[in-house]
Structure 1
Amino acid sequence: MNNVPDAYLGVWQRTLLRTADGIEDRVTRVFWLQTPALHADVRLPDPAPTSITQRISQAGFAGLTEVQGDRCQWHRLVDFHPDSGTDVGLMTFITPDEVQETAPDGSYVEIWQRLPESIGSTQAIWLAAAGDAPRQGCLLLAGDCFMFVADRPTPARKGLSLAAQINGLSADQVELMMSCEFSFGRIAGAKVPWEITLSTVPGRAGRCLLLDPPETSLEQWPVESLATLGGYPPPTGWQRAPLPLLNLPVEEVTP
């Protein structure tokens, strides 16, 4: 897969969603962090949801990004709402820091603004639970911003909505199913270093992602710095993993 064009890199905040039937959303807090291969996207109502019913309205996904011309596809490898498919948008750059995303079927238009503090170098690492546990996640940086993603501690079933999957579970079981973490924050430009300002996990906002982060690139972070990231780290700890590969169909070339 080719690298994502430089024009996409950074953190983009959605300022408008307009659907084909005229519904507009300017309130939901939506941030999309893009690196040359990986993306992470978090979407939370304002004010922050507290009850399980309210938290069902949250969204977030992370994975690989594919750009071909004006067509951008976000392949979801970690998803707050399991098995919700892929995202495809037709992208028009109004300015270098404003882009319009239009659904191929015309069902919606979104306007995105790039955060000035996100302009600069980007870094990304893919994470997997040590051992045979199936959990995965990632840590992405863009300028002064970061996004940490961790799949839920309890695996979700495909083809079944999150609301259906938590129906009938105990309170503890529901919490584990709901704890698919998407945490966004600032590295240095916040009240404390690496402060989480927005998270799908209650109680994470306002906390540090890591109390004593190494002053090196992500690729050089020691295992012990990665192992306990997040509100629900794996019992075996996180470890750095190779970037995932997409099993995309191979196009036949006619001689």
Structure 2
Amino acid sequence: MAHVPDNYLGVWKRRLIAFQSGRTDSETAVYWLQTPRLFADLRIPPAALPALPLEQLNHTDLLTLSEQKGFAGVTEVEGDICQWHRKLDYQPDSAGQDIGRMHFETSERLIETALDDDYYEVWERLPDSRGICRGQWLQAADDPTRVACLVLAGDYFLFAASRVVTLALGGHLRDHMNAAAAHQLLTTELSFGRHHGGQTPWQIDYSTLPRQTGLPLLPADIDPTAGDLFSDPRVLSSLGTYAPETGWRCAPEP
């Protein structure tokens, strides 16, 4: 699979989605970080939740979290058609295609339209997302079915990691939840933030895990521009809130 065109690289913030039904949404926090092949996408509806670990949230709060979305994988572009091959998903795998028709109104403003015209989305590139653009796919060292990725573009990062338990296919996440195991199904992490050129590195601005917002993804002394970032043992051993006991290992792109 070829690299995506350079004009897609960076971080795109969704300003609006409008459906043919007339429904619109400009309130959900949506960020799509695109590298030459890997991508990650985070979608958090507005909700006032306590900044607590999942284990300390009540069932109502957990159901609110189940409305979040996020995914990561590999992007393919052919002409004006863009397809995101999801290899990690916050919601249950639906086996459906994520594909849209893309039109650049300007170099920094992108319109995505459904192939059946059911919706259109307005995306704008964040100015500080130009620059170094790279990513790494990861697997748990002791479990190849548990995956993650760390992607960076300019001043931004997005870390995505699959949940600690297996989830059945299809439906909506809330339909799979029960009081006994609800928090385990919500351990999929997507954490997005900035490193501010090393001034306040790895600060999480949005996360599917409420407790993580405002906290560092990685220790402040880990250089986000380092060439050996993805092989740094400190990164591989501790990356993420629910890091595997034996850490991560670098893996081929899916």
Q: Structure 1-normalised TM-score?
A: 0.90
**CA distance in 1 between partners of 2:208 and 2:198 (Å):** 19
CA contact (8 A) 2:84 2:99 kept: yes
Question: Following superposition of structure 1 onto structure 2, how do residues 84-103 of structure 1 map, counting pairs within 5 Å?
Answer: 84=94, 85-103=96-114
Residue of 148, 151, 155 corresponding to 1:140 = 151
CA contact (8 A) 1:125 1:218 kept: no
Match of 2:204 in 1: 196
**CA distance in 2 between partners of 1:47 and 1:151 (Å):** 23
Q: Which amino acid aligns with 2:253?
A: L
Describe the superposition over 1:134-189 as per-residue Cα deviations: whole angstroms up to 9, x where unpaired. Answer: 2101000000000000000111112343222213x41xx21111110000000126
Match of 2:226 in 1: 216
Q: Which runs of 4+ in 1 moved over 3 A?
A: 47-50, 218-221
Report percent identity of matched pairs: 45
Q: Which amino acid aligns with 1:199?
A: S
**Deviation, structure 1 residue 74:** 0.4
Cα–Cα, structure 1 residues 19 and 82, in superposed 2: closer, same or farther, change >3 Å? same
Describe the superposition over 1:63-96 as per-residue Cα deviations: whole angstroms up to 9, x where unpaired. Answer: 0101000000001100000113331010000000
Match of 1:233 in 2: 243
Match of 1:253 in 2: none
Q: Which moved more, 1:134-143 or 1:187-196?
A: 187-196
CA contact (8 A) 2:17 2:26 kept: yes
Match of 2:55 in 1: none
Q: Secondary structure at the match of 1:135?
A: strand
Q: Which moved more, 1:35-44 or 1:205-214?
A: 205-214
**CA distance in 2 between partners of 1:37 and 1:220 (Å):** 16
**Deviation, structure 1 residue 48:** 4.8
Q: Which amino acid aligns with 1:157?
A: A
Q: Which amino acid aligns with 1:20?
A: Q
Residue of 91, 94, 98 corresponding to 1:81 = 91
CA contact (8 A) 2:67 2:173 kept: no
Describe the superposition over 1:42-61 as per-residue Cα deviations: whole angstroms up to 9, x where unpaired. Answer: 00012455511211111000
Q: Secondary structure at the match of 2:190?
A: strand
Match of 1:4 in 2: 4
**Deviation, structure 1 residue 219:** 5.3
CA contact (8 A) 1:123 1:218 kept: no
**CA distance in 1 between partners of 2:28 and 2:252 (Å):** 33
**CA distance in 2 between partners of 1:76 and 1:48 (Å):** 28
State the aligned residue count. 241
Match of 1:58 in 2: 68
* 1:206 pairs with 2:214: yes
Q: Secondary structure at the match of 1:226?
A: helix
Q: Secondary structure at the match of 1:224?
A: helix
Q: Which amino acid aligns with 2:106?
A: T
Cα–Cα, structure 1 residues 53 and 132, in superposed 2: closer, same or farther, change >3 Å? closer
Q: How much is the aligned-residue C-alpha RMSD, in angstroms? A: 1.7
Match of 1:155 in 2: 166
**CA distance in 2 between partners of 1:48 and 1:31 (Å):** 19
Structure 1 stretches lacking a partner, 5+ long:
245-255
Q: Secondary structure at the match of 2:46?
A: coil
Q: Structure 2-normalised TM-score?
A: 0.90
Structure 2 stretches lacking a partner, 5+ long:
51-60
Match of 1:124 in 2: 135
Q: Which moved more, 1:28-37 or 1:205-214?
A: 205-214
* 1:111 pairs with 2:122: yes
Describe the superposition over 1:182-233 as per-residue Cα deviations: whole angstroms up to 9, x where unpaired. Answer: 0000012697311000000120110101113145125553233222111100
